[in-house]
Structure 1
Amino acid sequence: MIRVTEAIALDDSEIVEEFARSSGPGGQNVQKVETAVRLRFDLRGSPNLPEPVKARLARLAGRRLTKEGVILIEARRHRTQERNRADALERLIELIRIAAAAPPPPRKKTKPTLGSKLRRLAGKKQRGETKTMRGRPNRDLRDT
């Protein structure tokens, strides 16, 4: 059993790992050792996840979720198979933890207070007066 949260634990049989040769630099090691890991987790068939968590996890998984309801996680960051396996499993567990967390409470709409409205209008008036003073002087007053 893999402990995800206090209430959620996954059975080892729910996770399937496939190994492949990793791409990229690495010389001979890359061409002869299967270090890349493709982890598969059947989301729809999992008896250990509650339905709300499954729904949130399906949204969070995005492109990693197949049409059959299987989450695919590929790990090829490290040079060894063991570290890639641990990385893939940790990424799956983190995804499930995020989905299992309670959603934040909805935002309550608020209106600005009367004081903040008056301060905003006073500031606008002050800026307008400043800009008015930057203009040309009134010619009618100079001619007299």
Structure 2
Amino acid sequence: MDAERLIPVNAEVQIPLAELRFRFSNSSGPGGQHVNKSATRVTLLFNVANSPSLPEEVRERLLRRLANRIDKEGVLQLNVQSSRSQHRNRDTAVSLFQQLLADALKKKKKRRRTKPSKAAVEKRLAEKKKRSERKRDRSQKW
């Protein structure tokens, strides 16, 4: 069933759950005996560089935008240890992965240059004048 399940990222990209690999390890932090004997930390691994379900332009965009999270082999790694349950951490990792890819694939809006309003310019110059007068007054008293 997991092999057939698809993770929707956006309208044109869906990733099969079978392409994701999971590693489990001991979580850090407090938890007493539970934390020492159960592997609840989940590391989600996704090979961005060699994924057959990604179109080439999407792959390039992901490699560029998520460069700080992808290692030199092209594998994206996400660590989740927020819960004491391995199953919950796995679900959290998948939803975090989905959100991360969706955000990375959004097209950024081009910035429109704007000018400050006339009132804002006048206010800045008035503050500047007031500050210079204050400093000038300080120097004359001594």
Does TM, normalized by the shorter one, top 0.5?
yes
TM-score of the aligned structures, taking structure 1 as reference length: 0.72
Q: Which residue is equivalent to 1:34? A: 39
Question: Percent same amino acid among aligned pairs?
Answer: 35
Q: How many angstroms apart in 2 are the aligned matches of 1:62 and 1:77?
A: 24
Q: Which runs of 5+ in 1 are unaligned?
A: 136-144
Alpha-carbon distance in 1 for matches of 2:86, 2:115 = 56
Q: Please tell me whether the aligned partners of residues 26 and 40 of structure 2 are also in contact (alpha carbons under 8 angstroms).
A: yes
1:109 aligned residue: 113
Bigger radius of gyration, 1 or 2? 1
Question: 2:95 matched to which residue of 1?
Answer: 90
- In structure 2, the gaps of 5 or more residues are 1-5, 138-142
* CA offsets 1:74-107 (integer angstroms, 9 cap, x no match): 11111000111011111111111012212212x2
Provide the residue aligned with 2:8 in structure 1. 3
Secondary structure at the counterpart of residue 29 of structure 2: coil
The Cα of 1:12 is off from its aligned counterpart by 1.6
CA distance in 2, matches of 1:50, 1:60: 15
Aligned: 1:46 with 2:80: no
Three-state SS of the structure 2 residue aligned to 1:86 is helix
Number of residue pairs aligned between Structure 1 and Structure 2: 126
Match of 2:122 in 1: 120
